[in-house]
Amino acid sequence: MKIGDLVRVKDSVGYNSYMQNLVGHIGIVLNEKWKGNDFWIEVHILGKSRPIVPADLEVVNESR
């Protein structure tokens, strides 16, 4: 997964209400960043840039 890739938020049991609202939506990877010891992918989805854990995303279409 790299900047410019289209990604979809995966469905998973146990998501909080924030993530439940994003499940199934497609966005574009804007940035990769560390917050403390955690690695996050910044995704533009539903009109906002949102930090999401890479394990919650799947690549739909890779950029070249």
What pTM did the predictor assign? Answer: 0.82
Q: What is residue 19's predicted lDDT score, i.e. its pLDDT?
A: 79
Task: Give the C-alpha separation, 44 to 13, whole Å.
Answer: 23
For 19, 21, 36, the CA distances from 58, given in Å and listed in that order, are: 14, 16, 23
Residue 64 has pLDDT above 80, yes or no: no
Q: Which domains does the chain possess?
A: 6-61 (2.30.30)
Structure tokens at 2: 């790299």
Query: What's the pLDDT tens digit per position in 2-61?
Result: 999 999 998 876 677 777 888 899 999 999 999 889 999 999 999 999 999 999 999 998
> Nearest to residue 19, comparing CAs of 28, 27, 10?
10
> Nearest to residue 49, comparing CAs of 63, 32, 24?
32
Q: What is residue 14's predicted lDDT score, i.e. its pLDDT?
A: 64
Q: What is residue 18's predicted lDDT score, i.e. its pLDDT?
A: 77
